[in-house]
Amino acid sequence: MKALVFDGPGKKSWTEVSDPSIKNPTDAIVRVDTTTICGTDLHILKGDVPAVQSGRILGHEGVGTVMETGSSVMGIRVGDRVIISCIKSCGHCTSCKVGLYSHCHGDEGATGIGWVFGHLIDGTQAEFVRVPYADNSLHKLPEGVTDEQAVMLSDILPTGFEIGVQYGKVKPGDTVVVVGAGPVGLAAIATAGLYGAASVIAMDLDEHRLSQARDFGATTVISSLAPDWKEQVFALTNGLGADVAIEAVGIPETFEMAVQLVRPGGNVANVGVHGRPVELHLENLWIQNINISMGLVNTNTTPMLLKLVAQHRIPAEKFATHHFPLAEIVEAYDTFTRAAETKALKVVLTR
């Protein structure tokens, strides 16, 4: 089969590799019908994720058709259309029993690490993929949900909702500011209303993304290039600051912005993947009673979010701005890497 292979920092190739096969009785082999590229993939290519070794097939998002199942797989059948969750779940370890799939102790990839696709085992940017713990790591698709909608449920929608909205403890009536209107930031914007946010402020330096943020539910947009961006947020919040500040970029400057924008007693939810150290000024923050959260998505909300997508309550299809055949994935990476120029949110790749 063909797959997108990581050849070391800054290097990748669409090349011929061996077909995956069943290794364990809980495995399934899925034909990848639709996949996409994540900002984390760009971090890998920069060398920010050293656990990813040369030769690894990249990708952790996908929708496909089950082609083969191991002898222990009970709930998934050959021919099923499925979402491939970006996080594995053995379903029976201590972490999985409490919904902390991100720290699944199943021995696939590494114990205690739920993100394995394109990280510790071969991923979804390929014609076929082996999925461990198929009964728990795959979600059957109902009729009426397209592949394009469903692939957004592999990662970005549960990530924005769980690590941004849930970890940020959004509650009815809150003002939420989202720093970074990329795909994950927009996912947080699109799902903040599920917990009753009264207003959602989107911040970004890209005017095009700010205009898109309104389509996803932002009530106000502010350019982070404006010299008075902080003053604008405080003017909208009676001088207090936001109840919840969600960082959705992954660089020190945007984390510092989020910390500056939250009110005393508020919550900062860091969603972005950081490739370098960030300063935490406890000498200033200790007296403000601020809670700071962060984490890797668990995907335990995927079934619920899938129902909302099926009922058109979440506009998942709006994330897809560019489309490519899977064989043109190198060109798709170029488009996604130059998102500010190409206006890309998510590039969708199909067989």
268-313, pLDDT tens digit by residue? 999 999 888 999 999 999 999 999 999 999 999 999 999 999 999 9
Give me the residues paired with residue 178 across strands: 202, 246
Rounded to 10 degrees, the C-alpha dihedral 75/159/5/343 comes to 130
Per-residue model confidence (pLDDT) at position 134: 98
Q: Which residues contact residue 143 at a Cβ distance below 8 angstroms, ignoring those fewer than 6 apart?
A: none
Q: Where are the domains of the chain?
A: 2-155+298-350, 157-294
Q: Are 40 and 6 in contact (CB under 8 A)?
A: no
Angle of helix 183-192 relative to helix 207-215, nearest 10 degrees? 30
Average pLDDT, the chain: 97
Residues lower than pLDDT 70 in the chain: none
- Given this model, what pLDDT does residue 276 score? 87
Which are the contacts of 228, defined by CB distance < 8 A and separation ≥ 6?
none
Class of domain 157-294: alpha beta
- Could you give the CA distance from residue 268 to residue 262 in angstroms, rounded to a whole number? 7
Q: Are 186 and 345 in contact (CB under 8 A)?
A: yes
Instruction: Classify residue 58 by its DSSP letter.
Output: P
Q: How far is 189 from 197, CA to CA, in rounded Å?
A: 10
Phi and psi angles of residue 275, each rounded to the nearest 5 degrees, phi first: -100, 0
Condensed to tens digits (0 to 9), the pLDDT of residues 186-201 reads 999 999 999 999 999 9
CATH class held by domain 2-155+298-350: alpha beta
- Torsion region of 122: left, alpha or beta (phi above 0 gives left; psi -120 to 50 gives alpha): beta
C-alpha 120/C-alpha 125 separation (Å) is: 14
Which DSSP string corresponds to 286-327? GGGT-EEEE-----TTHHHHHHHHHTTSS-GGGGEEEEEEGG
For residue 86, give every residue at least 6 positions away whose Cβ sits within 8 Å of its Cβ, in sequence order, or none.
Answer: 60, 61, 115, 117, 154, 155, 297, 299
Give the span between the Cα atoms of 239 and 205, in whole angstroms: 23
Maximum alpha-carbon separation in the chain: 61
